Amino acid sequence: MLNAALAEPITAAEPAAPQLSVEALSVSDLRAEIDRIDDALLELVEQRQALARRVGAAKGADDGRLRLKPDREAAVVERLVRKAEPWSKRLVAALWRELMSAGLSTQSEVEVVVWAGNDPARRLDAARRRFGSSADYRMVSTAQEALDAAEQGGAVAVLAVEPDAPWWTDLPEREDLWIFDALHGPRAAEPTALAVGRVSEAALARGQVFRISTGGDGDDTGARPRLVAMDQGVRLYAVTETSAATAKLDRARGYIGRCSRALA
Protein backbone atom coordinates (compact mmCIF):
# COMPACT_ATOMS: atom_id res chain seq x y z
CA MET A 1 0.00 0.00 0.00
CA LEU A 2 1.25 3.39 -0.90
CA ASN A 3 1.80 5.89 1.83
CA ALA A 4 -1.04 8.42 1.70
CA ALA A 5 1.40 11.26 1.49
CA LEU A 6 3.13 9.66 -1.42
CA ALA A 7 -0.20 9.00 -3.15
CA GLU A 8 -1.04 12.67 -3.27
CA PRO A 9 -0.25 14.34 -6.55
CA ILE A 10 2.99 16.23 -6.62
CA THR A 11 2.57 19.84 -7.60
CA ALA A 12 5.26 22.17 -8.71
CA ALA A 13 6.43 24.55 -6.01
CA GLU A 14 5.73 28.20 -6.59
CA PRO A 15 8.83 29.98 -7.76
CA ALA A 16 10.59 31.92 -5.02
CA ALA A 17 10.60 35.67 -5.30
CA PRO A 18 13.85 36.85 -6.86
CA GLN A 19 16.38 38.07 -4.29
CA LEU A 20 17.74 41.38 -5.47
CA SER A 21 21.20 42.42 -4.41
CA VAL A 22 21.74 45.82 -2.86
CA GLU A 23 23.44 46.88 -6.07
CA ALA A 24 20.26 46.08 -8.03
CA LEU A 25 17.99 48.26 -5.87
CA SER A 26 17.11 51.76 -6.94
CA VAL A 27 17.78 54.78 -4.75
CA SER A 28 14.09 54.95 -3.83
CA ASP A 29 14.14 51.25 -2.88
CA LEU A 30 17.19 51.79 -0.69
CA ARG A 31 15.58 54.79 1.00
CA ALA A 32 12.42 52.77 1.63
CA GLU A 33 14.53 50.07 3.29
CA ILE A 34 16.27 52.69 5.44
CA ASP A 35 12.85 54.05 6.46
CA ARG A 36 11.77 50.54 7.47
CA ILE A 37 14.89 50.11 9.59
CA ASP A 38 14.38 53.56 11.16
CA ASP A 39 10.82 52.62 12.16
CA ALA A 40 12.09 49.41 13.74
CA LEU A 41 14.84 51.30 15.58
CA LEU A 42 12.33 53.83 16.91
CA GLU A 43 10.15 51.06 18.29
CA LEU A 44 13.16 49.50 20.04
CA VAL A 45 14.23 52.86 21.47
CA GLU A 46 10.76 53.36 22.94
CA GLN A 47 10.91 49.89 24.47
CA ARG A 48 14.32 50.67 25.95
CA GLN A 49 13.05 53.92 27.46
CA ALA A 50 10.11 52.12 29.04
CA LEU A 51 12.46 49.58 30.60
CA ALA A 52 14.73 52.37 31.87
CA ARG A 53 11.76 53.92 33.69
CA ARG A 54 11.04 50.55 35.30
CA VAL A 55 14.67 50.25 36.39
CA GLY A 56 14.41 53.68 38.01
CA ALA A 57 11.30 52.64 39.90
CA ALA A 58 13.00 49.45 41.05
CA LYS A 59 16.00 51.41 42.39
CA GLY A 60 13.74 53.13 44.92
CA ALA A 61 14.45 56.41 46.69
CA ASP A 62 17.64 58.38 46.14
CA ASP A 63 20.43 57.92 48.68
CA GLY A 64 22.19 61.17 47.80
CA ARG A 65 24.44 59.57 45.21
CA LEU A 66 24.23 59.91 41.45
CA ARG A 67 21.89 57.44 39.82
CA LEU A 68 24.27 56.74 36.98
CA LYS A 69 26.32 53.55 37.27
CA PRO A 70 29.69 54.00 35.55
CA ASP A 71 30.53 50.30 35.74
CA ARG A 72 27.28 49.29 34.05
CA GLU A 73 27.60 51.99 31.37
CA ALA A 74 31.20 51.05 30.61
CA ALA A 75 30.33 47.36 30.38
CA VAL A 76 27.47 48.04 27.94
CA VAL A 77 29.53 50.30 25.67
CA GLU A 78 32.62 48.10 25.70
CA ARG A 79 30.64 44.94 24.92
CA LEU A 80 28.88 46.52 21.95
CA VAL A 81 32.01 48.22 20.62
CA ARG A 82 33.79 44.86 20.64
CA LYS A 83 30.98 43.41 18.50
CA ALA A 84 30.80 46.36 16.10
CA GLU A 85 32.51 46.55 12.73
CA PRO A 86 35.68 48.69 12.77
CA TRP A 87 34.05 51.51 10.80
CA SER A 88 31.13 51.78 13.24
CA LYS A 89 32.87 51.53 16.64
CA ARG A 90 32.86 55.27 17.34
CA LEU A 91 29.27 55.55 16.16
CA VAL A 92 28.21 52.69 18.44
CA ALA A 93 29.95 54.23 21.47
CA ALA A 94 28.36 57.64 20.85
CA LEU A 95 24.92 56.21 20.11
CA TRP A 96 24.76 54.10 23.24
CA ARG A 97 26.08 56.94 25.40
CA GLU A 98 23.14 58.98 24.12
CA LEU A 99 20.67 56.15 24.72
CA MET A 100 21.89 55.66 28.29
CA SER A 101 21.71 59.40 28.94
CA ALA A 102 18.11 59.41 27.74
CA GLY A 103 17.31 56.38 29.88
CA LEU A 104 18.84 57.98 32.97
CA SER A 105 16.82 61.15 32.37
CA THR A 106 13.62 59.11 32.79
CA GLN A 107 14.74 58.32 36.36
CA SER A 108 15.99 61.72 37.53
CA GLU A 109 17.29 65.04 36.25
CA VAL A 110 20.98 65.03 35.42
CA GLU A 111 22.90 68.28 35.83
CA VAL A 112 26.44 68.50 34.49
CA VAL A 113 28.45 71.43 35.85
CA VAL A 114 31.48 72.21 33.71
CA TRP A 115 34.60 74.08 34.68
CA ALA A 116 36.26 74.32 31.29
CA GLY A 117 39.48 76.17 32.08
CA ASN A 118 41.13 77.83 29.10
CA ASP A 119 39.29 75.84 26.42
CA PRO A 120 35.52 76.07 27.03
CA ALA A 121 34.41 74.79 23.63
CA ARG A 122 36.50 71.63 23.75
CA ARG A 123 35.63 70.74 27.37
CA LEU A 124 31.91 71.37 26.92
CA ASP A 125 31.94 69.27 23.75
CA ALA A 126 33.66 66.43 25.62
CA ALA A 127 31.05 66.64 28.40
CA ARG A 128 28.17 66.55 25.92
CA ARG A 129 29.62 63.55 24.10
CA ARG A 130 29.96 61.68 27.39
CA PHE A 131 26.68 62.61 29.12
CA GLY A 132 24.40 63.17 26.12
CA SER A 133 21.81 65.73 25.11
CA SER A 134 19.30 64.72 27.80
CA ALA A 135 21.42 66.23 30.59
CA ASP A 136 21.33 69.90 31.62
CA TYR A 137 24.66 71.74 31.33
CA ARG A 138 25.94 74.70 33.31
CA MET A 139 29.29 76.44 32.98
CA VAL A 140 31.02 77.82 36.08
CA SER A 141 34.04 80.07 36.44
CA THR A 142 36.01 78.10 39.04
CA ALA A 143 36.82 74.48 39.76
CA GLN A 144 35.68 75.03 43.34
CA GLU A 145 32.15 75.84 42.15
CA ALA A 146 32.00 72.63 40.13
CA LEU A 147 33.21 70.49 43.04
CA ASP A 148 30.74 72.17 45.41
CA ALA A 149 27.89 71.48 42.98
CA ALA A 150 28.87 67.82 42.87
CA GLU A 151 29.29 67.51 46.63
CA GLN A 152 26.30 69.53 47.79
CA GLY A 153 23.90 69.59 44.85
CA GLY A 154 24.21 66.11 43.42
CA ALA A 155 25.56 67.27 40.06
CA VAL A 156 28.17 65.71 37.83
CA ALA A 157 31.27 67.91 37.82
CA VAL A 158 33.39 67.98 34.68
CA LEU A 159 36.72 69.66 35.35
CA ALA A 160 39.46 70.58 32.91
CA VAL A 161 42.89 69.02 33.32
CA GLU A 162 45.30 71.97 33.34
CA PRO A 163 48.78 72.39 34.81
CA ASP A 164 47.97 75.54 36.79
CA ALA A 165 44.71 74.30 38.35
CA PRO A 166 45.34 71.42 40.78
CA TRP A 167 41.69 71.04 41.85
CA TRP A 168 42.25 67.30 42.27
CA THR A 169 44.32 67.93 45.41
CA ASP A 170 41.02 68.73 47.19
CA LEU A 171 39.53 65.29 46.56
CA PRO A 172 41.17 63.43 49.47
CA GLU A 173 39.22 65.76 51.80
CA ARG A 174 35.96 65.41 49.87
CA GLU A 175 35.30 61.82 50.78
CA ASP A 176 31.95 61.55 48.97
CA LEU A 177 33.46 62.48 45.61
CA TRP A 178 35.26 60.19 43.19
CA ILE A 179 36.75 60.66 39.75
CA PHE A 180 34.63 58.23 37.75
CA ASP A 181 35.52 58.96 34.13
CA ALA A 182 38.18 60.49 31.90
CA LEU A 183 36.88 62.60 29.02
CA HIS A 184 38.92 62.66 25.83
CA GLY A 185 38.72 64.73 22.71
CA PRO A 186 38.27 62.96 19.38
CA ARG A 187 41.27 60.65 18.91
CA ALA A 188 43.12 62.27 21.84
CA ALA A 189 45.38 60.03 23.90
CA GLU A 190 45.26 62.04 27.12
CA PRO A 191 42.11 63.24 28.93
CA THR A 192 41.05 66.83 28.45
CA ALA A 193 38.80 66.70 31.54
CA LEU A 194 37.78 64.39 34.38
CA ALA A 195 34.27 63.63 35.61
CA VAL A 196 33.68 63.77 39.37
CA GLY A 197 30.58 62.94 41.38
CA ARG A 198 28.98 61.31 44.38
CA VAL A 199 29.18 57.75 43.09
CA SER A 200 29.33 54.58 45.12
CA GLU A 201 32.85 53.17 45.08
CA ALA A 202 31.36 49.79 44.21
CA ALA A 203 29.83 51.31 41.04
CA LEU A 204 33.11 52.65 39.66
CA ALA A 205 34.23 51.02 36.42
CA ARG A 206 37.44 49.00 36.33
CA GLY A 207 40.44 49.62 34.09
CA GLN A 208 42.53 52.40 35.59
CA VAL A 209 42.78 54.13 38.94
CA PHE A 210 43.69 57.72 39.78
CA ARG A 211 46.22 58.32 42.50
CA ILE A 212 47.83 61.40 44.02
CA SER A 213 51.50 60.96 44.89
CA THR A 214 54.30 63.13 46.21
CA GLY A 215 56.94 60.50 45.45
CA GLY A 216 58.40 59.11 42.26
CA ASP A 217 56.80 57.15 39.48
CA GLY A 218 56.55 53.89 41.41
CA ASP A 219 53.26 52.25 42.32
CA ASP A 220 52.45 49.29 44.56
CA THR A 221 50.47 47.54 41.82
CA GLY A 222 53.55 46.94 39.73
CA ALA A 223 52.04 48.85 36.81
CA ARG A 224 53.76 51.88 35.36
CA PRO A 225 51.68 54.98 36.13
CA ARG A 226 50.93 57.65 33.55
CA LEU A 227 51.25 61.27 34.63
CA VAL A 228 47.99 63.19 34.17
CA ALA A 229 48.78 66.45 35.99
CA MET A 230 51.34 67.91 38.39
CA ASP A 231 51.50 70.85 40.80
CA GLN A 232 54.57 71.76 42.86
CA GLY A 233 55.79 68.20 43.14
CA VAL A 234 52.34 66.71 43.77
CA ARG A 235 51.40 64.39 40.91
CA LEU A 236 48.14 62.92 39.67
CA TYR A 237 48.69 59.53 38.06
CA ALA A 238 46.45 57.21 36.08
CA VAL A 239 47.50 53.62 36.75
CA THR A 240 46.34 50.69 34.66
CA GLU A 241 44.86 48.01 36.89
CA THR A 242 46.78 44.76 36.56
CA SER A 243 46.04 43.04 39.86
CA ALA A 244 43.73 43.02 42.86
CA ALA A 245 46.06 45.40 44.71
CA THR A 246 43.73 48.32 44.02
CA ALA A 247 40.45 46.46 44.52
CA LYS A 248 39.72 48.77 47.46
CA LEU A 249 40.53 52.43 46.93
CA ASP A 250 42.31 53.82 49.98
CA ARG A 251 42.13 57.61 50.15
CA ALA A 252 44.82 57.65 52.81
CA ARG A 253 47.20 56.32 50.16
CA GLY A 254 46.09 58.85 47.57
CA TYR A 255 43.52 56.89 45.55
CA ILE A 256 40.79 59.28 44.40
CA GLY A 257 39.04 57.55 41.51
CA ARG A 258 38.65 54.74 39.03
CA CYS A 259 37.27 54.39 35.51
CA SER A 260 37.41 52.22 32.42
CA ARG A 261 40.20 52.67 29.95
CA ALA A 262 39.57 54.92 26.95
CA LEU A 263 38.00 53.21 23.95
CA ALA A 264 40.29 52.81 20.97
Secondary structure string (H, E, C) spanning the chain: CCCHHHHCCCCCCCCCCCCCCHHHCCHHHHHHHHHHHHHHHHHHHHHHHHHHHHHHHHHCCCCCCCCCCHHHHHHHHHHHHHHCCHHHHHHHHHHHHHHHHHHHHCCCCCEEEEECCCCHHHHHHHHHHHHCCCCEEEECCCHHHHHHHHHHHCCEEEEECCCCCCHHHHHHHCCCCEEEEEECCCCCCCCCEEEEECCCHHHCCCCEEEEEECCCCCCCCCCCCEEEEEECCEEEEEEECCCHHHCCCCHHHCEEEEECCCCC
pLDDT of residue 25: 78
pLDDT of residue 13: 46
Within-domain flag for 23: no
Within-domain flag for 196: yes
Within-domain flag for 213: yes
Within-domain flag for 109: yes
Within-domain flag for 246: yes
Q: What is the domain extent for residue 168? A: 65-259
From first to last of the 264 residues of the chain, give the pLDDT tens digit: 434 443 444 444 444 444 556 666 788 989 999 999 999 999 999 999 999 999 988 887 677 789 899 999 999 999 999 999 999 999 999 999 999 999 999 988 999 999 999 999 999 999 999 999 999 999 999 999 999 999 998 999 999 999 889 999 999 999 999 999 999 977 777 899 999 999 999 999 999 999 999 865 545 555 678 899 988 889 999 998 875 555 678 898 899 999 998 654
Distance CA 209, CA 259 (A): 6
Within-domain flag for 248: yes
Within-domain flag for 27: no
Q: Based on the structure, what is the number of domains in the chain?
A: 1
Within-domain flag for 7: no
